[in-house]
Chain A
Amino acid sequence: MTTLALTTPHRADWLPKYGVYIAIAALVVYNAAFTPYFLTVSNLRIQLIQVAPIIIVALGMALVIGTEGIDLSVGAVMALAAALIPLYLGYGVIAAVIVSLLAGVAVGLINGALVAKVGLQPIVATLALFVGGRGLAVVISDGQLKDIRNADLIYLGSGDLLGIPVLVWTAALAILVVAFTVRRTVFGRRLLAIGGNRPAAELAGLPVQRVLITVYVLCAVLAAIAGLLSVGRIQSSDASSIGLLIELSAITAVVVGGTPLTGGRVRVLGTVAGAVLMQLVIATMIKNNLPPSTTEMVQAAIILVAVYAARERKTR
């Protein structure tokens, strides 16, 4: 009863809403027909493992973008989390995980305070840690790649649970938690209201600063999770390469998934689909022996279409 009445679709609404799913379906059909070994368990498994960290980071990014913000520091947070792992792995995997998550909390608090209290523009506020965070991570790790031999951590990044990679389970759990947060919690509704009209949210008595800081903390913690899982997956910690450029993949996933950069709306499933779509595009190109440069151009075209579609919605 609650959702049916929503369906008064606007003219140009279908493209940002369903475009990404249609594109995924088209790519799957194409690959099933023309790409050898596409629909095999091992291939699907690889695709999921590769896309999982991007999904985890993109979910946090979607929340931030829902408040009309952006977080450029997610890649740096992954690097920080990764750099801290080898230092604390001696105390056990739990200690290492907690420390890297705390690093995420710290970065989120700084980003959130700069945006909510100091009033910096999110792109500038997070740019500081985008640059400084990775630098710090490299300093922490002495600029060296460190091999990880801890079986527990490797299990988190490379192991299976019920035949499905732990990494994929984690991403699935993150999707559920974020979707639930956006839809069902007071925090989620406040987040959307602040993104939709911040002065109005303030006058309505919402704790705007607290919500904004929480959003940036959540985003950074999700990035830290992605970082420590990546360490477990590649079984080494390299602060200079982990999470490099992932902020762009995450923003792309969010935008392609139909979340407007103007805030006030978060499409959780769309974001997941956006990440999956970009992953499929890359996979398709590679399997068809197209050079990376072509892949990049196709990605650019998809982003343009998504942004154009979102723009049409606004002028409605």
Chain B
Amino acid sequence: MTLLEVAGVSKVFPGVRALDDVSFALRPGEVHALVGENGAGKSTLIKVLTGVYRPDAGELRYQGEPVSFATPMDAQRAGISTIYQEVNLIPLMSVAQNLFLGREPRTTLGLVDRARMDREARDILAGYGVTTDVRARLGSLPLGAQQMVALARAVMIDAKVVVMDEPTSSLEPREVETLFGVIQDLHERGIGIIYVSHRMDELYRICDTVTILRDGKLVHTGRLADLERVRLVALMLGREVSDVRREGFTVFSGDHAAADDTPILRVSGLSSRNRLHDISFGVRPGEVVGLGGLLGAGRSETIKAIAGAYPVDSGEIEVDGTPLRHPTTVKAVAAGIAVQPEDRKAEGIIPGLSIRENIALSILPRMSTFGLVSDAKIDEIVDRFMKRLRIKASSPHQRVGDLSGGNQQKVLLARLLATGPKVLLLDEPTRGIDVGAKAEVQALIDELAAEGLGVVLVSSDAEELVEGSGRVVVLRDGAVVGVLTGEDVTTESLLATIAEAGA
């Protein structure tokens, strides 16, 4: 008998089909891995299962009965608990209060029996490896311990299904072991677990079954042990392991690697807390270096660290032979580094300002005398870049927020290029833009490299990464696990390196 299942479920949001005829079944005691890249539909599926969204089509069955949860609370009462990446308990209340929130033990007078609550909380949490003062504020605990409290709370309220969304992303190795112990325990008690993670080692260690989503569709479901790692990665990324060979989906023309050996960007020993570990690589003028890896491998963090927007504990960054000490975003831009962040809307464009204001943003001092902006100078630059990048808009004064994704991206690239950078850091430059703009952006990257810029390219599209880059540095868990060069820059070797059993 299945515990929780959906059949043929679809969910449509304006402009995107988040789930398309997806079926999923969880049996009691099963640890079920749910994997897929960004935008594959994992979160939407979880939200359908936990009552946050109602499916547009398809049926939800719980313990064999068709159900429909009106709110997440209903799902929780029925025994479906979710542990989110970010703990959603109340940080200012004590650990014990959080654990018993809404179900506090009472004294005969109807008051909260704090002594008993604290005592029971201590006993329960000990089983999860949390041996803290239960009267301390929850917020004072390390994130890992908070997550254990959330988990303990979920299990306490008679959960039959526990959904874990990247539960280990903020845990220390020791805490991960405790978590796995708890999962083993839940497994033996017949509780079904949906486990979302990108860490291959973890999945293969604790999961029985796997469901892979891509672009809102179900691409595979079955026993995990029967599925090779490289095959799993290939399914996730939508590439066949065997028949990848050049098909020309992208318009990159290839290598511009100059004979010139001095790197224009040199990164060595870059480390940041527990996110980046000793990352080193170099980019020569005219070279496109790809950063490969799965979601959460540390690609975006690496980019941001180089751009001065992510804290760095140790390591050196050198631009054109000049070291960049204590990098800040201001210093990085001044040194010739231009960064295109992954999240265009949140960190890239200024939606309320016009195209010309957005393009001129980083070079205002050059566009002015004594602090007064010269519109003539800006118009000249803006005109040049709008033509070169073929930005389609009614006028340079149009709000950037009103443009299509592709044109927004071009405006952002124009801002980077206007600074006359030596190094371009591009994080998912073609995400969320239409096919035409995608080809244009790819051609532009190629052209810029040919002009002698050093480019660092992050892309979840394996093909784009392989065809666009002369060299690919593969990251996993914040560390470099391999570098593909020359003939080795192929989708197969990329997938193989990503999937390799890790340290």
Residues of A within 8 A of B (CB): 2-3, 5-6, 8, 184-187, 189-190, 192-193, 196-197, 199-207, 264-265
Q: CB-nearest residue of chain B relative to A5?
A: B395
A193 partner, pick from B309, B341, B357, B375, beta carbons under 8 A: B357
Starting from the known contacts A189-B357, A199-B346, A204-B415, 10 additional A-B residue pairs (CB-CB under 8 Å) come to: A184-B372, A185-B368, A186-B365, A190-B364, A193-B350, A196-B353, A197-B346, A197-B351, A205-B329, A264-B352
Cβ < 8 Å to A, chain B residues 355-386: 357, 360-362, 364-365, 367-368, 371-373, 375
A200 partner, pick from B348, B371, B396, beta carbons under 8 A: B348
* CB-defined A-B contacts under 8 Å, sample of 15: A8-B398, A185-B368, A192-B353, A196-B350, A197-B352, A199-B341, A199-B347, A203-B329, A204-B333, A204-B362, A204-B415, A205-B333, A205-B362, A206-B329, A264-B353
Per the bound structure, the CA–CA distance linking A184 and B351 in Å amounts to: 20
Contacts of B365 in A (CB 8 A): 186
Per the bound structure, the CA–CA distance linking A100 and B435 in Å amounts to: 61
Q: Please tell me if the beta carbons of A204 and B361 are within 8 angstroms of each other in the complex.
A: yes
Give the interface SS of chain A, mostly helix, strand, loop or mixed.
helix
B272 within 8 A of A: no
Chain B min CB distance to A205 (Å):
3
Leading 5 A-B pairs by shortest Cβ distance: A205-B333, A5-B395, A196-B350, A264-B352, A186-B364
Contacts of A203 in B (CB 8 A): 307, 309, 329, 339, 341, 347-348
Contacts of A197 in B (CB 8 A): 346-347, 349-352
Q: Please tell me if the beta carbons of A202 and B371 are within 8 angstroms of each other in the complex.
A: no
Contacts of B12 in A (CB 8 A): none
B394 within 8 A of A: yes
B397 partner, pick from A6, A189, A202, beta carbons under 8 A: A6
Chain B 33-73: CB-based contact to A (< 8 A → 1; otherwise 0): 00000000000000000000000000000000000000000
Contacts of B373 in A (CB 8 A): 184-186, 189
Per the bound structure, the CA–CA distance linking A203 and B305 in Å amounts to: 11
Chain B min CB distance to A181 (Å):
9
B300 within 8 A of A: no
Q: CB-nearest residue of chain B relative to A185?
A: B371
Per the bound structure, the CA–CA distance linking A202 and B310 in Å amounts to: 12
Chain A min CB distance to B367 (Å):
8
A206 partner, pick from B330, B341, B351, beta carbons under 8 A: B330
B297 within 8 A of A: no
Number of interface residues of B (CB under 8 A): 36
Chain B min CB distance to A53 (Å):
28
Chain A min CB distance to B397 (Å):
5
Q: Please tell me if the beta carbons of A5 and B394 are within 8 angstroms of each other in the complex.
A: yes
Q: Please tell me if the beta carbons of B348 and A207 are within 8 angstroms of each other in the complex.
A: no
Cβ < 8 Å to A, chain B residues 173-228: none
B156 within 8 A of A: no
Contacts of B398 in A (CB 8 A): 5, 8
Contacts of A192 in B (CB 8 A): 350, 352-353, 357
Per the bound structure, the CA–CA distance linking A170 and B269 in Å amounts to: 58
Q: CB-nearest residue of chain A relative to B307?
A: A203
Most chain A Cβ neighbours within 10 Å, of B332, B361, B371, B419: B361
Per the bound structure, the CA–CA distance linking A8 and B393 in Å amounts to: 12
Per the bound structure, the CA–CA distance linking A216 and B467 in Å amounts to: 50
B112 within 8 A of A: no
Chain A min CB distance to B223 (Å):
43
Contacts of B7 in A (CB 8 A): none
Per the bound structure, the CA–CA distance linking A81 and B290 in Å amounts to: 58
Q: Please tell me if the beta carbons of A205 and B394 are within 8 angstroms of each other in the complex.
A: no
Per the bound structure, the CA–CA distance linking A6 and B393 in Å amounts to: 12
Per the bound structure, the CA–CA distance linking A204 and B333 in Å amounts to: 7
B258 within 8 A of A: no
Per the bound structure, the CA–CA distance linking A187 and B365 in Å amounts to: 10
Contacts of A265 in B (CB 8 A): 352
Chain B min CB distance to A12 (Å):
15
Q: CB-nearest residue of chain B relative to A199?
A: B347
Q: CB-nearest residue of chain B relative to A181?
A: B371
B334 within 8 A of A: yes
Chain B 327-347: CB-based contact to A (< 8 A → 1; otherwise 0): 001101110000101000011
Q: Please tell me if the beta carbons of B350 and A201 are within 8 angstroms of each other in the complex.
A: yes
Contacts of B357 in A (CB 8 A): 189, 192-193
Per the bound structure, the CA–CA distance linking A185 and B364 in Å amounts to: 9
Q: Please tell me if the beta carbons of B309 and A2 are within 8 angstroms of each other in the complex.
A: no
Chain A min CB distance to B49 (Å):
30
Q: Please tell me if the beta carbons of A200 and B347 are within 8 angstroms of each other in the complex.
A: yes
Contacts of B364 in A (CB 8 A): 186, 189-190
Chain B min CB distance to A127 (Å):
20
Q: Please tell me if the beta carbons of A186 and B371 are within 8 angstroms of each other in the complex.
A: yes
Per the bound structure, the CA–CA distance linking A30 and B415 in Å amounts to: 51
Contacts of B350 in A (CB 8 A): 192-193, 196-197, 200-201, 264
Contacts of B349 in A (CB 8 A): 197, 200
Contacts of A200 in B (CB 8 A): 341, 346-350
Contacts of B372 in A (CB 8 A): 184-186
Contacts of A206 in B (CB 8 A): 329-330, 361-362
Knowing A5-B397, A6-B397 are in contact, say whether A205-B332 is a contact too (CB < 8 A). Answer: yes
Chain A min CB distance to B429 (Å):
14
Chain B min CB distance to A206 (Å):
7
Contacts of A205 in B (CB 8 A): 329-330, 332-334, 362, 419
Contacts of A207 in B (CB 8 A): 330
Contacts of A3 in B (CB 8 A): 397
Chain A min CB distance to B456 (Å):
15
Chain A min CB distance to B396 (Å):
8
Contacts of B367 in A (CB 8 A): 186
Most chain B Cβ neighbours within 10 Å, of A184, A186, A201, A265: A186
Contacts of B396 in A (CB 8 A): 5
Contacts of B395 in A (CB 8 A): 5
Chain B min CB distance to A109 (Å):
20
Per the bound structure, the CA–CA distance linking A197 and B352 in Å amounts to: 9
Chain A min CB distance to B380 (Å):
13
Contacts of B332 in A (CB 8 A): 205
Contacts of A199 in B (CB 8 A): 341, 346-347
Chain B min CB distance to A261 (Å):
13
Per the bound structure, the CA–CA distance linking A200 and B416 in Å amounts to: 12
Per the bound structure, the CA–CA distance linking A265 and B347 in Å amounts to: 18
Chain B 410-451: CB-based contact to A (< 8 A → 1; otherwise 0): 000001000100000000000000000000000000000000
Per the bound structure, the CA–CA distance linking A110 and B381 in Å amounts to: 38
Most chain A Cβ neighbours within 10 Å, of B350, B367, B397, B415: B350
Q: CB-nearest residue of chain A relative to B333?
A: A205
Chain B min CB distance to A210 (Å):
9
Q: Please tell me if the beta carbons of A196 and B339 are within 8 angstroms of each other in the complex.
A: no
Per the bound structure, the CA–CA distance linking A196 and B339 in Å amounts to: 19
Per the bound structure, the CA–CA distance linking A123 and B397 in Å amounts to: 33
Chain B min CB distance to A66 (Å):
11
